[in-house]
A and B are shown apart, each in its own frame.
Chain A
Amino acid sequence: MSAVELENLTLARGRRTILSGVNATIGDGEFIGVFGPNGAGKSTLLHAILGLLPPASGAIRVFGKPPGNGTAQAGYLPQKRAGIVDLRLRGWDLVASAYQGNRWGPPVLGARGRGEVAWALATVEATALAERPLSQLSGGELQRVLLAQALLGKPRLLLLDEPFISLDPRYQQAVVALIKRVQSALGITVLLTAHELNPLLGFMDRVLYLGHGRAALGTTEEVITSEVLSRLYDAPIEVLRLNGRIVVVAAHGDVEAEAHRHDA
């Protein structure tokens, strides 16, 4: 069974159409890098797969079922995490807060909940880290704790929205390697959005590239080409391959800057 199926999918936020008529099938156990310029709809697509944004038309199927209350099967790492950084609370409590955190009642985890938290932390090698206050963690360490939180409930699908956004390059490599290890060990499907291709080369099975409402899914060689990207950006694009790295350049200038932006 495929993990995620997008069938003639159109997504809109208000009156603005974000994706239109997208078809894509992501297999169970694939590691997919999701790319595209700012505003191309990377986060919006993840929201839709979580069931937070109903399709304007077309269909989304997650393991054969429409998303929605079945979000339990998808782990999610949101992009924006405003308040966490300066909390003088240990990581363990942050991870535990997500365990059935949408139910009313007192925050009693029980043996099962505590076991689940311990498993998630051990899976990302963050058991010791989780005892330290969040305010003292580096960006990479914090990302590991947050990854543990996303793994609660043993999801078969992991949606990671810009996990590298505030990491310096040496941590990016460590985090992507960890995500890959977790993905292989648990045999789960990963959709990861990012601005830069290069840190993910060698880790991704396929690439989903979004632009101008359209999408292209395929291997890096198939998708990251001048023809495909020029069509998605609606502007002439050149793709250069240098020593195993890929550089995307616009003939008119501004795409390169876009591809290397870390904000927004």
Chain B
Amino acid sequence: MLEYDFMQTAFEAGTAVAIVAGAVGYFLVLRNLAFAGHALSHVGFAGATGAVLLGVGPFWGLIAFTVAGGIGMGLLGDQLRGRDIAVGIMLSLSLGLGVLFLHLYTTYATQATSLLFGNVLGVSPENLRDMLVLGAITLASLTAIARPLIFATLDPELAEAKGVSLRLIAVLFLIIVAVAVAEAVQVVGILLVFALMVGPAAAALRCTTRLKSGLALSAIFAVVETWAGIALAYVTDWPPSFWITLLSAVVYGLAFLPALLPRASPA
């Protein structure tokens, strides 16, 4: 299947996105922000469709809106806790706006499905280049803030006492999340970002209690699920997004198995 250019591009794009989503998603889950990631992707829908209406590429509209949303969420910080309803209303408003923009630009309506559910097989070589560059920037930024991010995530009270600005870290991290979400949308779509950003990370946290192993495992799960999903899509002609979400659910479910089995012997 690798003799087709679009398949090669799909695997390359999928790999880059999966590594970023797995790594960023691990911190997202550690920080109890899984729902925020979900909400950010929906905010992006209004941006992506609005950009098309203005004649700009949908990816740039998507990323502009998710980043703005990420900054907003980071600044609100703890005030956002327990505000599921406000976040949910923002989220549905964004989808509603997206529907309006699609309605106003009727010829684009066919593209709505790929925005909502992803279209990794349709990634163009130019898209791929942008995605690789953004992926590299995202990972480099995550590495640059990793030390205070981990400190602020695990022990915010002590981190603050040691001079870490919790708000700055929250904003920087959510900008990184926003870019990662926009990338993940290219593969699994706005509605299914959870499968790639939260599923592998949550499974990794079930499998190991070591932070760095968990981080690596999260990225590995995401990459393997993406590769297998694309390959299965090639074989079955069913959408890759379906396979990726299925594999994400299966891996998450399997991660609970060891806890359910009777303990053999104390290690």
Q: Interface of A with B (CB < 8 Å)?
A: 47, 50, 52, 71, 76-84, 87-90, 92-94, 97-98, 100-107, 132-133, 149
Contacts and interface: CB of A to CB of B under 8 A. Distances in A.
B154 A93 contact: yes
Given A81-B157, A97-B155, A133-B209, A106 B143 contact: yes
Contact of B145 (A77, A90, A104): A104
B239 interface: no
Interface string B129-159: 0000000000000011111101111111111
Nearest to A90: B209
B263 interface: no
A82 B209 contact: no
Contact of B206 (A78, A88, A90): A88
B146 A71 contact: no
A106 B156 contact: no
- Binding site of A, secondary structure by majority: helix, strand, loop or mixed? loop
B210 interface: yes
Given A52-B161, A71-B162, A90 B147 contact: no
Interface string B84-109: 00000000000000000000000000
Given A90-B209, A106-B143, A106-B146, A101 B157 contact: no
Contact of A97 (B150, B205, B210): B150
Contacts of A92: 210
A74 B210 CA distance: 28
A98 B147 contact: no
Contacts of B205: 88-89
A121 B192 CA distance: 42
A88 B210 CA distance: 9
Contacts of A105: 143-144, 146-147
A132 B208 CA distance: 11
A78 B161 contact: yes
Contact of A107 (B30, B146, B158, B214): B146
Given A87-B154, A88-B205, A71 B161 contact: yes
A102 B163 contact: yes
3 A-B pairs with the lowest CB-CB distances in the bound complex, closest first? A101-B151, A78-B157, A93-B211
Contacts of A80: 157
A58 to B, nearest CB: 22
B143 A89 contact: no
Given A98-B155, A101-B159, A102-B148, 13 more contacts: A82-B157, A83-B154, A84-B154, A87-B30, A89-B205, A89-B214, A97-B151, A98-B158, A101-B164, A102-B151, A104-B145, A105-B147, A107-B147
A90 B163 CA distance: 24
B176 to A, nearest CB: 14
Contacts of A98: 151, 155, 158-159, 162
A93 B32 CA distance: 18
B5 to A, nearest CB: 36
Interface residues of B, number: 29
Residue among B30, B151, B154, B206 with most chain A CB within 10 A: B154
Nearest to A153: B162
Contacts of A50: 161
5 contacts: A82-B156, A83-B153, A98-B158, A101-B152, A101-B162
A76 B151 CA distance: 14
B142 to A, nearest CB: 9
Contacts of A104: 144-145, 147-148
Nearest to B151: A101
Contacts of A107: 146-147, 150, 211-212
A247 to B, nearest CB: 32
Contacts of A133: 209
Contacts of A84: 154-155
A102 B145 contact: no
Interface in B214-239: 214
Nearest to B211: A93
A83 B33 CA distance: 13
Interface in B1-47: 30, 32
Nearest to B157: A78
Given A97-B151, A101-B164, A107-B146, A83 B210 contact: no
Contacts of B164: 101-102
Contacts of B214: 89
B262 to A, nearest CB: 18
Given A88-B206, A97-B155, A83 B145 contact: no
A178 B125 CA distance: 62
Nearest to A150: B158
B100 to A, nearest CB: 39
A4 to B, nearest CB: 16
B161 A89 contact: no
